[in-house]
């Protein structure tokens, strides 16, 4: 088998036979999104490291409290979904997943953006919405290929200047945080889609003062002009 989906309202653990499928490429252990179900698996076993050919691992909407260090041995992994669990941290070994380009971590209990994530040089999609994250490390600048970064519903009070170095960003959602200001170089993120029909840079639900919301709505040029005028004062 190259692809396997395991389902069931009472899913508590991974059947041991799965770890003998050494050619497995896609393993899905998540309920259908529209079902609104939540499985009950609390532990992803260490044996997950045996599935060295996995490219996609879907473990959304379970009850996971931790991820084993052995996840770092899945060197072919390209897509990992861990949203809607109870994760408060991630293992440092995740930094070894250098083929990973899509990582979903929404609706967990993370209080910071884990440092290992900033080592994932091929990451293009990162969703850490609806956690308790209050800081973004400056090492985020290493994610040079990042195109989508979703940070809605967290506890961010500020953004590091280094986020302005992510020049490949096309989507950046910052809604419902505690941001009062943006970095002075924020207007350099010119690849964001600032169009009226699809706003890829979302600030709603923040008490922005510097620059104010009406300036942000003008896009990168308006933001650059705003900070330039401050420097001239």
CATH code at position 122: 3.80.10.10
Per-residue pLDDT averaged across 11-38, rounded? 84
Q: Which residues contact 47 (CB under 8 A, 6 or more apart)?
A: 14, 16, 19, 70
- In the sheet that holds 148-150, the strands lie side by side as 3-5, 26-28, 56-58, 79-81, 102-104, 125-127, 148-150, 171-173, 201-202
Q: Give per-residue pLDDT as tens, 122-137.
A: 999 999 999 999 999 9
Mean pLDDT of 60-68: 94
End-to-end CA separation in angstroms for the chain: 67
Given a cut of 80, whether residue 51 has pLDDT beyond it is yes
Residue 199 has a pLDDT of: 57
pLDDT at 196: 46
Q: What is the pLDDT of residues 130-156, one digit of tens each?
A: 999 999 999 999 999 999 999 999 999
Give the pairing type, strands 56-58 and 3-5: unpaired
Helices (H) and strands (E) counted in the chain, each on its own, are 2, 9
Q: Would you state the structure tokens that stand for residue 208, as one six-digit string? A: 């922005």
Q: Report the percentage of the chain scoring pLDDT > 90.
A: 69
Q: Please name the residues in contact with 69: beta carbons below 8 A apart, sequence gap of 6 or more.
A: 46, 91, 92, 93
Split at pLDDT 50, 70, 90, the class of 201 is confident
* Cis peptide bond prior to 211, omega within 30° of 0: yes
Residues in the chain: 233
Residue 1 in contact with residue 16, Cβ under 8 Å?
no
> Residue 1: pLDDT band by 50, 70, 90 thresholds?
low
| Position 193 pLDDT exceeds 80 | no
The answer to whether 46 and 70 are in contact (CB under 8 A) is yes
Q: What is the pLDDT of residue 34?
A: 52
Contact 48, 68 (CB under 8 A): yes
From 220, 24, 116, select the one nearest 15 (Cα to Cα). 24
User: Tokens 């899905």 sit at which residue?
Assistant: 28
Question: Helix (H, G, I), strand (E, B), or coil: what is residue 103?
Answer: strand
Which residue range forms the structural domain that includes residue 19? Answer: 3-231
pLDDT of residue 197: 44
Say how many domains are in the chain: 1
């Amino acid at each position: 088998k190259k692809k396997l989906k395991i389902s069931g309202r009472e899913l508590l653990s991974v059947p041991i036979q799965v770890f003998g499928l050494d050619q497995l490429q896609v393993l899905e252990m998540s309920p259908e999104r529209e079902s609104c179900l939540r499985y009950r698996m609390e532990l992803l076993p260490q044996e997950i490291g045996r599935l060295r050919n996995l490219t996609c691992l879907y473990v959304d909407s379970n009850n996971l409290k931790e991820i084993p260090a052995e996840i770092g041995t899945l060197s072919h992994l390209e897509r990992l979904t861990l949203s809607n669990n109870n994760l408060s941290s991630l293992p440092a070994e995740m930094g070894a997943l250098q083929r990973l380009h899509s990582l979903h971590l929404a609706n967990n209990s993370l209080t910071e953006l884990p440092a290992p994530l900033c080592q994932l040089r091929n990451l293009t999609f990162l969703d850490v919405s609806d956690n308790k994250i209050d800081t973004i490390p400056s090492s985020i600048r290493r994610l040079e290929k990042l195109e989508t970064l979703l940070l809605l519903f967290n506890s961010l009070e500020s953004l590091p200047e280094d986020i302005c170095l992510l020049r490949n960003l096309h989507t950046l959602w910052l809604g419902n945080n505690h941001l009062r200001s943006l970095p002075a170089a924020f207007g350099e993120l010119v690849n964001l889609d600032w169009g009226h029909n699809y706003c890829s840079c979302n600030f709603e639900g923040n008490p922005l003062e510097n620059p104010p919301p009406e300036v942000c709505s003008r896009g990168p040029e308006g933001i650059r002009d705003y900070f330039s005028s401050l420097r001239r004062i």
